[in-house]
Amino acid sequence: MRPLYITSGEPAGIGPDICLSLAERVDERPIVILADIEMLWQRVHQLGLNIELIPYQGQAESSLQGQLFVEDVPLAEKVVLGQLDSANAAYVLEQLRRSADYAMSGRSVGVATAPVQKSIINDAGIVFSGHTEYYQEFADVDRVVMMLATKTLRVALATTHLALRDVPDAITKERLHQVIDILIHDLKTKFKIAEPHILVCGLNPHAGEDGYLGREEIDVINPVLETYRAQGVHMSLSLPADTLFTPENLKDADAVLAMYHDQGLPVLKSQGFGEAVNITLGLPFIRTSVDHGTALSLAGTGQAKASSLHVAVDLALDLARTSFTKL
């Protein structure tokens, strides 16, 4: 069967640590880590683990418990735990490039990603705003949607890694149509929700308070939402974000559309941090990710929690199961 690739991310952080925890699993298809294999061996010894790292050479079945398939991606410089090195920025991006190339060319079913450190990649002189945007550019698609999910809540974002002062100008009718089309399509096709029920956050406090606290809801957001409601889509008009996330409101919702990153994600992460998964909607391949950062201070300590990576791998495999039943 085609493999699922895992990028190990920033080598000075906990990405390699949590990837090693995948050796506990036996899955229905091969799980392959993209990493410098010598660095991974060093991390195995630092953590005192009993794991066999096996070079991946196209094996069709899952590795056994206590084993891990690895595709070697050479580091530029040796890693010092917890210390970022811009010399290894290209190493991190090579993981992303291979994972996207394999998925786009049909050599894999997709990718689950461990965390990267955006700042050190930019310090290396490489413009980089995140996994989501990287994969969007690689796949040459006009728009993708970042969605985080726990077992009980899905939150999609109209804008992603954008300064707060730039958000209102980015909320256009065109962008909202693109985001909502992708959200509806992927909820139906990837998550098999026949008639998704979507709640939408307003941009301003109290969803603009009838224009007294901002007119974006009146002039931009609600007119777009009305077009979907007229087509029979189960979608709210703009709702005040401070009360939208109550259990009563969420009980029948399949997803929430937030206008910006820190509007929707604090609520979701407060409910399920370490158990949430990041999904990129709108790509021609499966991409899931952890819900946390590189945690540099925990690298090599054995204290890093791998639960979010396992949830990300579980979801990627679930999506692959429905999309690639025999491949």
- Per residue in 30-88, pLDDT tens? 999 999 999 999 999 999 999 999 999 999 999 999 999 999 999 999 999 999 999 99
Average pLDDT score, the chain:
95
Greatest alpha-carbon span in the chain: 63
Distance CA 246, CA 271 (A): 12
pLDDT tens digit string along 240-290?
999 999 999 999 999 999 999 999 999 998 887 778 899 999 999 999 999
Residue 94, pLDDT > 50, answer yes
CATH of the domain at 256: 3.40.718.10
Categorize the per-residue pLDDT at 324 as very low, low, confident or very high, splitting at 50, 70 and 90: low
pLDDT at 101: 98
Rounded alpha-carbon distances, angstroms, from residue 116 to 47, 183, 295: 21, 25, 10
pTM of the full predicted structure? 0.90
* Contact (Cβ atoms closer than 8 angstroms) between residue 261 and residue 203: no
* Contact (Cβ atoms closer than 8 angstroms) between residue 134 and residue 42: no
Residues 154 and 268 in one domain: yes
Distance CA 327, CA 321 (A): 9
Residues 84 and 57 in one domain: yes
Residues 119 and 250 in one domain: no
Distance CA 306, CA 254 (A): 26
**Of 282, 300, 315, which residue constitutes the final position of a domain?**
282
Cα-Cα-Cα-Cα dihedral of 154, 157, 162, 164, to 10°?
Answer: -90
pLDDT tens digit string along 199-213?
999 999 999 999 999
* Contact (Cβ atoms closer than 8 angstroms) between residue 95 and residue 73: yes
Contacts of 323 (CB under 8 A, 6+ apart): 109, 190, 286
Categorize the per-residue pLDDT at 325 as very low, low, confident or very high, splitting at 50, 70 and 90: very low
Q: Estimate the share of the chain in helix, then strand, then coil, as percent rounded to the nearest 5.
A: 45, 20, 40
Residues 4 and 80 in one domain: yes
Q: What percent of the chain has pLDDT over 90?
A: 91
The residue segments making up the domain with residue 302 are 1-141+283-327
Residues 174 and 264 in one domain: yes
Contacts of 313 (CB under 8 A, 6+ apart): 4, 6, 22, 25, 27, 31, 112, 288
**Residue 3 exposed, middle or buried by CB count within 10 Å (0-12, 13-18, 19+):** buried
Contacts of 11 (CB under 8 A, 6+ apart): 35, 36, 39, 75, 79, 88, 91, 92
Residues 129 and 175 in one domain: no
What are the CB-based long-range contacts (under 8 Å, 24+) for 181-188? 182/143, 182/144, 182/145, 182/281, 182/282, 183/145, 183/147, 183/156, 183/255, 183/257, 183/281, 184/228, 184/233, 186/145, 186/281, 186/282, 187/254, 187/255
Residues 157 and 244 in one domain: yes
Residues 264 and 233 in one domain: yes
Contacts of 325 (CB under 8 A, 6+ apart): none
Residues 1 and 96 in one domain: yes
Residues 206 and 307 in one domain: no
Residues 234 and 153 in one domain: yes
> Averaged over 288-297, what is the pLDDT?
94
Distance CA 272, CA 147 (A): 14
Question: Partners of 71 in the beta sheet?
Answer: 34
Question: Partners of 54 in the beta sheet?
Answer: 69
pLDDT at 322: 82
Nearest to residue 312, comparing CAs of 10, 21, 2, 12? 21
Question: Partners of 32 in the beta sheet?
Answer: 5, 69
Question: What total number of domains does the chain contain?
Answer: 2
Residues 5 and 88 in one domain: yes
